[in-house]
């Protein structure tokens, strides 16, 4: 009976003892290596599969890397903050010939990802917009190698306690007490060596201890700092690491990590401290310099050779395409019907004595005098800027070549050679049409009238029909439209260019949408004279109709 009554009591006692010794909120873990499922990774954080270590950033500018334990961790029990202890081994190493920066943070955060964060001096923890906001609910221990006066950093090699801001509540120079706690030895955070850190929080105080991996620390360098996290940490938090670079850059590595949200600090004893990868820069700078120079030289040589090969292939390809395009154009020309005579470039070169007799030039090219083998004189117009409009050129040649009129210069033929285009006309020895319109140059009295004088006289006498070509049946039949075109031309030639129509108005007249303006000013002036007069005025903007000048 007694045994029966005692045994249930003893069992109940051990049940409550076990329940008390292993609370349901306890989270303990240890990583001596990492794999793809160990942590949540964001930004530039990666797992080095060869060594199974966590790399938060590589030594490249403007990087942010964050890694978190994949499950949120209870940090409060009955509204009371829970203790925690963690230990990890890290290494920070600058790249070769680079200024180092910036650092990393062991942190608690209520959210995953890297929202509202910036690199450089913000360490991937906050950004300027949210730094100092009590709603961040972020706690961290920073390992910073850049002194930022904005955040009141004590130096360029410090460890600080951060609460909702990168402006630390407490900070100190990292170091340890070797030889049983005699004498403090400062440690440089980013010399590439592997360092082990112990962080313990309990009863609103925090201790931070650090030593080279494998050595006894001897004592903390931040000891008993008062930090009330009751209003900072939420009931459940994510824990992990974040790091960043800016213009300054270095690599940030976490080699192993243990954590417990209880008073149990023995978990750190399970971290492996031997046989770890080394990130210490080589100790022989002369060899490193020679290797760097050789590597750089080979790299430059490879780039130059590659660029040369690529350039050679590109030029050859471009020439091949140009030749193929020229062949296709030649085939197109042979297939177009109704074209005038096609001259070869050599024929025109001989006819113009290697283009030596230049008659003049205009907006579309220069005109040269020449003679064909039959003795007839020609004017060869060398067009410029038309190499990419082959179809338009052929259409124009086909159109102009089919027009024959006593008052129009006949297009005798054309020539295409490489990217150049030539038009061959009958040579007219009576000078420029522009001079004939505006200046009397012939000897006979009846021919001393230039066209504008004749037009003005006919307008005044209401005899515009007399100007219509009597030899053209088509123009006589459509004499009304021809006179309307003459009126529109006079509208465009008024001496006061502000009264000239816009191109859209001309189009509307041609489409029948509006009439030519009445009360026109017919005191025409040669555009060259008008241009000279306009230059004497006060920066009055010239319309396109003036700037273009006669064609």
Q: Report the binding-site residues for ATP.
A: 381
Q: What is the distance between the alpha carbons of residues 420 and 483, in angstroms, rounded to a whole number?
A: 39
In terms of phi and psi (left: phi > 0; alpha: psi -120 to 50; beta: otherwise), the region of 168 is beta
Tell me the pairing of strands 170-172 and 358-362. unpaired
DSSP designation for 516: P
Closest Cα to residue 391, out of 328, 317, 320?
328
Query: How far, in whole angstroms, is CA 180 from its chain's centroid?
Result: 58
Distance (Å) of CA 274 to CA 32, 213, 278, 334, 392: 11, 8, 11, 84, 80
Q: What is the distance between the alpha carbons of residues 46 and 8, in angstroms, rounded to a whole number?
A: 54
In terms of phi and psi (left: phi > 0; alpha: psi -120 to 50; beta: otherwise), the region of 443 is alpha
Would you say 249 and 63 are in contact if contact means Cβ atoms under 8 Å apart?
Answer: yes
Kindly state the helix (H) or strand (E) to which residue 484 belongs, with its residue range. Answer: helix 479-492
CA angle, residues 109, 111, 113, in degrees to nearest 5: 105
Would you say 407 and 469 are in contact if contact means Cβ atoms under 8 Å apart?
Answer: yes
Residues in binding site: 381
Distance (Å) of CA 193 to CA 159, 171, 240, 446, 449: 16, 21, 21, 106, 101
Q: What is the distance between the alpha carbons of residues 110 and 139, in angstroms, rounded to a whole number?
A: 10
Would you say 60 and 36 are in contact if contact means Cβ atoms under 8 Å apart?
Answer: no
Query: How far, in whole angstroms, is CA 472 from its chain's centroid?
Result: 63
């Amino acid at each position: 009976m007694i045994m029966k009554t005692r045994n249930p009591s003893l069992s109940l006692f051990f049940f409550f003892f076990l329940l008390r010794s292993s609370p349901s909120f306890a989270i303990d873990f240890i990583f001596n290596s990492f794999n793809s499922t160990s942590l949540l990774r964001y930004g530039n954080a990666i797992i080095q599969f060869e060594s199974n270590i966590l790399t938060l950033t590589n030594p490249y500018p403007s990087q942010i890397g964050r890694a978190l334990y994949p499950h949120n961790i209870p940090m409060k029990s009955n509204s009371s903050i829970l203790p925690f202890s963690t230990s990890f081994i890290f290494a920070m190493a600058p790249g070769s010939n680079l200024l180092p920066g910036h650092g990393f943070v062991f942190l608690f955060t209520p959210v995953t990802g890297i929202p509202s964060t910036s690199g450089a001096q913000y360490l991937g923890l906050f950004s300027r917009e949210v730094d100092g906001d009590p709603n961040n609910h972020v706690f961290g221990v920073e390992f910073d190698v850049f002194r930022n006066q904005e955040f009141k950093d004590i130096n360029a090699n410090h460890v600080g306690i951060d609460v909702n801001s990168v402006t630390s509540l407490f900070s100190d120079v990292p170091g340890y007490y070797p030889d049983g706690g005699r004498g403090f030895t400062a440690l440089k955070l980013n010399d590439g060596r592997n360092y082990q850190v112990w962080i313990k929080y309990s009863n609103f105080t925090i201790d931070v201890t650090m030593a080279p991996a494998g050595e006894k620390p001897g004592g903390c360098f931040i000891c008993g700092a008062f930090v009330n996290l009751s209003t900072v940490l939420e009931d459940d938090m994510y824990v992990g690491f974040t790091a960043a670079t800016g213009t300054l850059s270095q690599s940030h590595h976490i080699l192993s990590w243990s954590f417990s949200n209880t008073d149990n600090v023995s978990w750190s004893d399970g971290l492996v401290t031997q046989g770890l990868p080394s990130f210490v820069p080589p100790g022989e700078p002369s060899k490193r310099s020679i290797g760097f120079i050789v590597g750089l030289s080979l790299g430059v040589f490879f780039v130059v050779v590659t660029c040369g090969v690529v350039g050679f292939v590109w030029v050859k390809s471009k020439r091949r395409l140009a030749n193929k395009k020229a062949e296709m154009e030649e085939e197109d020309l042979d297939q177009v019907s109704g074209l005038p005579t096609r001259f070869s470039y050599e024929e025109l070169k001989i006819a113009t004595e290697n283009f030596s007799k230049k008659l003049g030039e205009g907006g579309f090219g220069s005109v040269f005098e020449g003679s064909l083998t039959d003795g007839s004189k020609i004017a060869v117009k060398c067009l410029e800027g038309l190499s990419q409009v082959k179809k338009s050129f052929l259409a124009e040649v086909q159109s102009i070549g089919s027009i024959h009129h006593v008052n129009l210069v006949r297009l005798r033929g054309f020539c295409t050679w490489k990217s150049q285009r030539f038009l061959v006309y009958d040579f007219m020895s009576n000078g420029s049409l522009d001079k004939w319109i505006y200046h009397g140059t012939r000897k006979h009295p009846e021919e001393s009238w230039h066209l504008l004088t004749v037009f003005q006289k006919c307008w005044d006498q209401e005899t515009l029909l007399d100007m219509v070509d009597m030899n053209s049946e088509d123009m006589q039949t459509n004499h009304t439209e021809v006179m309307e075109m003459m009126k529109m031309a006079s509208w465009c030639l008024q001496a006061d260019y502000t009264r000239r129509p816009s191109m859209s108005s001309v189009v509307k007249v041609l489409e029948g949408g509006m009439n030519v303006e009445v009360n026109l000013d017919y005191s025409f002036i040669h555009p060259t004279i008008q241009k000279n007069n306009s230059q004497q005025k006060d920066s009055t903007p010239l319309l396109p109709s003036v700037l273009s000048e006669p064609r």
